[in-house]
Amino acid sequence: MTKTTKTKMRTRTIGQWMIGGLSLIMWGGFGSPASGVLKVVTTTEDLAAITRAVGGEAVEVVSLSRGYQDPHFIEAKPSHLVKLNKADLFIQIGLELEVAWAPPLLSNARNGRIVPGREGFLETCEGCEIVDRLTGRVDRSQGDVHPQGNPHYWMDPENGRMMARAIAAKLKALRPGDSAGIEERLKSFERELSERLVRWQEWLRPYHGSKIVTYHRSWSNWAKRFGLEVVDFIEPKPGIPPSAAHIEQLIRTLSQRGVKAMVMEPYFDRKLPEKISRETGVPLVVVSPSVGGFPEVKTYFDVFEVGLKKLVEAMEKGGRP
């Protein structure tokens, strides 16, 4: 075979590869049309649960994290990019909850629809009551702080209502054909929320003003809605594990201030809090802050249904010596 023939064959082969490659790229790239099921990717299971409740059959939802994981520290994997590449809508909590792992996923998903600022990007903090906004000097000497406010705002059912409205509005904008169904499901969600909230607040009425200690400063919205007062944290500063000195001070606080319960998420290490609970007699209540944190927490309402029941039972028992 002469050199010319070899080069010609090589040229043809390369040409064929390029045409083939181009076709493959174009075929793969044609995303979902403007009608049909809306593909939604959320950062947490709570957002996924609310989206399913409001969107029904019009949406196909997947969450990047599980309810039993700490949403600050999710491992961003290449497989997440594959899911995000196909998404029509991306929903996150915001307020820097996902700042450690979500932004590079959005930059590299090759999906212009879900880039921050675009139609397919939603942060549900708008319209919600945000607490613990930091004023004055803010820096990392205070630990891993969230200067814009406490991102665990979904732990207040009234905020859940605002989140559902924001998600419903976005779904209607992206799928106007399904507006009627979405509006109906939103109304039904809000009705059930209002009914249940009344009941939950009834449960907590006898314990109004009770003092609690939590592991991380993640229960501010929840405590405010249900009339509880968070007086201290098992973590001395956000993100810093408890030291011996801090534990001693905590034990004093628990007895001196008549703390009724210690509340913590299932993903923190329980050894130290259990030890403190045994020493002081203050019950430790492990509450799932998210859907899927425990197998029985299946919907957004279950988060409060299961968690508040657990708290009330523990405080009842603790109240009797």
Partner 1 sequence: MFDVSVPGVARFGGHDGFPGTDHASEDFPGQHIEKDSSKTQATRSTAPRPSSTPPHLSSAQASAWDGLTILLKRGVFMCYLILVFFFVFCGIVDSVKGQDRPLSRPGPVPSLLNPDMSFDGLFTVGGFSSPNHLQLGGHDPKVNGITAQNFETTYKSVIDPFWEGIAHMILLIEDGETKIELEEAYMTSLDFPWGLQLMGGQFFTRFGRLNPSHPHSWNFADQPVINGRLFGGDGLRQTGLQLSWLAPTPFFLEWRASVQNANGETAPSFINPAAKEPAPDNVYLMRPLVARPAVTFRDLLYMGGVKSSWDLSDSLTAVAGSSLLYGPNNTGLETITRIYGVDLYLKWKPEVTDQGWPFVTWQTEAMWRVYDAAEYTDLGASTFVPATIIQDSGWYSQVVYGFTRGWTAGIRLDWVDGGNSASVELDQRTRITPSLTYYPSEFFKIRFQYNYDKAQHRADPIHAVFVQFEFLMGAHGAHQF
**Contact residues: partner 1, CB under 8 A:** 2-5, 7-8, 10-11, 14-15, 18-19, 22, 24-30, 66, 68-70, 72-73, 75-79, 81-82, 85, 92, 94, 96, 100-101, 103-104, 107-110, 112, 115-119, 123, 140, 144, 147-148, 239-241, 266-269
Q: How far is the CB of 193 from partner 1 (least distance, A)?
A: 26
What's the CA gap between 103 and 159, in Å, rounded? 24
Q: How far is the CB of 119 from partner 1 (least distance, A)?
A: 8
Q: How far is the CB of 115 from partner 1 (least distance, A)?
A: 5
Nearer to partner 1, 3 or 317 (CB): 3
Contact 35, 15 (CB under 8 A): no
160: number of Cβ within 10 Å = 26
46-71 in b/e burial notation, b at 16+ Cβ within 10 A? bbbbbbbbbbeebbbbebbbebbbeb
Nearer to partner 1, 19 or 180 (CB): 19
Residue 87 DSSP class:
-
Strands 89-92 and 59-63, sheet pairing: unpaired
Nearer to partner 1, 153 or 301 (CB): 153
Q: How far is the CB of 79 from partner 1 (least distance, A)?
A: 5
**Spatial CA neighbour of 226 closest among 196, 204, 249, 258:** 204
Nearer to partner 1, 38 or 95 (CB): 95
Q: How far is the CB of 70 from partner 1 (least distance, A)?
A: 7
Contact 83, 64 (CB under 8 A): yes
**Spatial CA neighbour of 141 closest among 214, 230, 217, 238:** 238
Q: How far is the CB of 153 from partner 1 (least distance, A)?
A: 14
Contact 164, 108 (CB under 8 A): no
Nearer to partner 1, 65 or 280 (CB): 65
Residues composing the chain = 321
Nearer to partner 1, 50 or 114 (CB): 114
